[in-house]
């Protein structure tokens, strides 16, 4: 395996031992051979890097001398300005070369995985990006298409309910709540395209978090000790971001990137907080609608004479849940807002991505509210378990809430337990983000799958055969009540 044309594994043979050299056992001899081979490889690699970089330094010096030697005496002032600009560009280029040299030496002392990454990203040429942020346009496209499909599905389900609202099998599902389930699904899925854009953003934010140790602890580079970013431009005007870590005197270059302005930073952070609130409103609305729907059926089962239970009669729990959840969302967003950050792993600086960070307290609080509402729905679903299934749908709602709690736990585990370990092990972060995205999509679509899709089938069956399936029992159809004398 070769990087930039020089071998990483040398086939140099060892010098035959002289008679004065002590006799070694096979194991000791093998260890000594490995050590000697490693030293020879390091010397050879260092020599090659120095040769390549020295040639580039000589080329820059020659260009400087040729530029300074040209010109007429009448244009001394102009030439002096050109020479000063040329000196500034040369200093920047020399600085970049020395920083790349330092990075090359670090990579040669790193693990095989680091070397393989370097081979893939830098073997195409010395001027290629040695360290580049993740830019997976394919991943962004996949998430965008997935989100668009789910939005269309939710909108189509809402249109279906409205168009067939007067059919018996649809009216039994209480269309006023089915509409809201579709709207909640749209709210929950819609922020995914924004998150996909953030993750694949090329530029660095003004707030860049770094992994300061192996356990994945975040530290802001502004508040961190000796870790900061700066921008630099080459002679062609291409901007780059340089990461300085004064604690261990390491420097890393991110080519073809820049640090966004404070106005852009504010816009991104407003977007992060907005989409988070929209997604959580969608989740809370889903559970609140299920609670109100089940609570209305529960009040009907009390069999109070001359009592009509309308949707407005169960608005109390609905309003309390929505107002309380919105208050918590706004309070936590104001006190501890989510920040748009570029995350760099110092253990593997080649791994960087942009994301919305700092929402741990908000997510935990909202997950708690979500689980509490879910438990209330489970209690009501258990109480109406003996009611006609086409009216109460208690079994479907019971299973739906259990699956929702399981998905919530899965998101918590992935988001706060596995991602730091995954990034330390250099596993593709997009895979984990895709899993979380799939879970969010499932949470938005499960209510529609359980409560609306079966009614789509029943409507189609009735249209084709002229009657509902025999397994569907509609109260009031085919029954005659005869009063006694």
Whichever domain contains 461, its CATH number is: 1.20.1070.10
Q: Higher pLDDT residue, 344 or 448?
A: 448
Percentage of the chain modeled with pLDDT above 70: 45
pLDDT bucket at 255, cuts 50 / 70 / 90 = low
Is 213 a domain residue?
no
Domain extent, residue 399, equals 138-203+260-465
- The last residue of a domain, from among 94, 122, 150: 122
User: If 0-12 CB within 10 Å is exposed, 13-18 middle and 19+ buried, where does residue 94 land?
Assistant: middle
Same domain? For 264 and 404 the reply is yes
Same domain? For 174 and 52 the reply is no
pLDDT bucket at 182, cuts 50 / 70 / 90 = very high
Same domain? For 6 and 118 the reply is yes
Is 388 a domain residue?
yes
**For position 206, what pLDDT does the model report?**
55
pLDDT bucket at 115, cuts 50 / 70 / 90 = very low
Render 335-393 in DSSP notation, one character per residue.
HS--EEEEEEETTEEEEEEEEEE--HHHHHHHHHHHHHHHHHHHHHHHHTTTS-HHHH-
**Residue 160, pLDDT above cutoff 90:** yes
**Residue 187, pLDDT above cutoff 80:** yes
**Residue 163, pLDDT above cutoff 90:** yes
Q: Higher pLDDT residue, 126 or 267?
A: 267
Is 163 a domain residue?
yes
**For position 228, what pLDDT does the model report?**
55
Is 171 a domain residue?
yes
Percentage of the chain modeled with pLDDT above 90: 8
Each residue's pLDDT tens digit, 284-332: 899 899 988 888 888 877 766 666 777 777 788 888 888 999 899 999 9
Q: Higher pLDDT residue, 348 or 289?
A: 289
Cα separation, 150 vs 380, in Å, equals 30
Q: Higher pLDDT residue, 275 or 347?
A: 275
Same domain? For 162 and 285 the reply is yes
Which candidate, 372, 268, 281, places its Cα nearest to that of 328? 281
Same domain? For 152 and 296 the reply is yes
Is 276 a domain residue?
yes
Total domains present in the chain = 2
Each residue's pLDDT tens digit, 4-25: 333 333 333 332 333 333 444 4
Q: What is the DSSP code (8-state) at residue 243?
A: E
**Residue 365, pLDDT above cutoff 50:** yes
Is 133 a domain residue?
no
Same domain? For 360 and 429 the reply is yes
Is 235 a domain residue?
no
Q: Higher pLDDT residue, 396 or 235?
A: 396
- The last residue of a domain, from among 98, 122, 146: 122
**Residue 445, pLDDT above cutoff 60:** yes
Cα separation, 358 vs 341, in Å, equals 9
Overall average pLDDT of the 45-62 stretch: 51
Same domain? For 45 and 99 the reply is yes
Overall average pLDDT of the 89-100 stretch: 53
Q: Higher pLDDT residue, 169 or 70?
A: 169
Cα separation, 301 vs 392, in Å, equals 10
Name residues whose C-beta falls within 8 Å of residue 186's C-beta, 6 or more positions apart in sequence. 151, 154, 155, 282, 444
**For position 135, what pLDDT does the model report?**
40
Same domain? For 154 and 6 the reply is no
Same domain? For 360 and 276 the reply is yes
Cα separation, 71 vs 313, in Å, equals 90
Q: Give the HSE-up count for residue 226: Cα atoms under 13 Å, Cβ half-sphere.
A: 9
Same domain? For 156 and 116 the reply is no
pLDDT bucket at 478, cuts 50 / 70 / 90 = very low
Q: How many residues does the chain have?
A: 485
Residue with tokens 């609130």: 277
**For position 350, what pLDDT does the model report?**
61
pLDDT bucket at 106, cuts 50 / 70 / 90 = very low
Name residues whose C-beta falls within 8 Å of residue 275's C-beta, 6 or more positions apart in sequence. 190, 191, 194, 195, 356
Where does 70-219 have alpha helices with state H? 76-108, 112-122, 137-163, 168-171, 175-189, 192-199
- The last residue of a domain, from among 87, 122, 157: 122
**For position 137, what pLDDT does the model report?**
44
- Which range, of 60-74, 332-346, 362-376, 470-484, averages the lowest pLDDT? 60-74
**For position 469, what pLDDT does the model report?**
85
Cα separation, 410 vs 435, in Å, equals 10
Same domain? For 148 and 49 the reply is no
| Highest mean pLDDT of the ranges 38-42, 176-180, 215-219 | 176-180
Which candidate, 97, 100, 6, places its Cα nearest to that of 45? 6
Same domain? For 178 and 290 the reply is yes
**For position 128, what pLDDT does the model report?**
29
**For position 76, what pLDDT does the model report?**
52
Q: Higher pLDDT residue, 458 or 27?
A: 458
Three-state secondary-structure class, residue 414? helix
**For position 169, what pLDDT does the model report?**
87
Three-state secondary-structure class, residue 242? strand
Each residue's pLDDT tens digit, 392-433: 788 888 888 889 888 888 877 776 665 555 544 545 566 676
Q: Higher pLDDT residue, 216 or 316?
A: 316
Overall average pLDDT of the 451-474 stretch: 87
Average pLDDT in the chain: 67
Is 250 a domain residue?
no
């Amino acid at each position: 395996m070769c990087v930039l044309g020089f071998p990483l594994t040398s086939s140099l043979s060892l010098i035959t031992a002289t008679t004065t050299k002590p006799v070694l056992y096979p194991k000791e001899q093998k260890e000594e051979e490995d050590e000697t081979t490693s030293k020879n490889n390091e010397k050879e690699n260092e020599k090659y890097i120095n040769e390549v970089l020295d040639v580039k330094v000589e080329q820059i010096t020659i260009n400087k001398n040729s530029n300074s030697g040209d010109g007429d005496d009448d244009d001394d002032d102009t030439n002096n300005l050109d020479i000063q600009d040329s000196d500034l560009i040369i200093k920047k280029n020399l600085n970049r070369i020395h920083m790349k040299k330092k990075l090359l030496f670090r990579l040669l002392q790193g693990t095989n995985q680091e070397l393989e990454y370097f081979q893939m990203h830098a073997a195409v040429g010395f001027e290629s990006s040695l360290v580049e942020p993740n830019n997976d346009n394919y991943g962004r496209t996949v998430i965008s298409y997935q989100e668009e499909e789910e939005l269309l599905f939710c909108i189509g389900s809402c249109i279906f309910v409205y168009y067939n609202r007067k059919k018996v099998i649809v009216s039994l599902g209480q269309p006023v709540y089915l509409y809201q389930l579709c709207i909640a699904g749209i709210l929950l899925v819609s922020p995914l395209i924004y998150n996909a854009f953030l993750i694949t953003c090329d530029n660095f934010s003004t707030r860049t978090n770094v992994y300061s140790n192996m356990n994945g602890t975040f530290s802001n580079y502004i508040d961190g000790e000796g870790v900061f970013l700066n921008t630099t431009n080459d002679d062609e005007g291409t901007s780059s971001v340089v990461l300085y870590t004064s604690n261990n005197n390491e420097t890393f270059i991110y080519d073809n990137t820049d640090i966004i302005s404070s106005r852009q930073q504010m816009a991104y952070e407003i977007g992060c907080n907005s989409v988070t609130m929209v997604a959580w409103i969608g989740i809370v609305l889903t559970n609140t609608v299920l609670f109100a729907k089940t609570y209305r059926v529960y009040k009907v089962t009390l069999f109070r004479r001359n009592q009509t239970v309308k949707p407005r009669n169960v608005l109390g729990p609905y309003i309390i849940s929505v107002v309380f959840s919105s208050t918590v969302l706004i309070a936590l967003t104001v006190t501890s807002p989510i920040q748009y950050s570029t995350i760099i792993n110092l253990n593997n600086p080649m791994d960087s991505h942009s994301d919305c960070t700092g929402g741990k307290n908000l997510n935990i609080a909202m997950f708690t509210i979500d689980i509490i509402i879910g438990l209330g729905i489970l209690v009501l679903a258990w109480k109406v378990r003996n009611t006609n299934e086409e009216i109460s749908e208690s079994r479907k709602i019971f299973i739906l809430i259990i699956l929702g709690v399981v998905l919530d736990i899965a998101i918590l585990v992935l988001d706060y337990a596995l991602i730091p370990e995954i990034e330390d092990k250099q596993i593709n972060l997009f895979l984990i983000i895709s899993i979380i995205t799939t879970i969010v999509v499932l949470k938005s679509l499960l209510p529609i799958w359980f409560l609306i899709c079966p009614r789509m089938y029943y409507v189609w069956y009735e249209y084709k055969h002229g009657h509902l399936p025999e397994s569907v029992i509609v109260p009031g159809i085919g029954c005659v009540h005869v009063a006694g004398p």
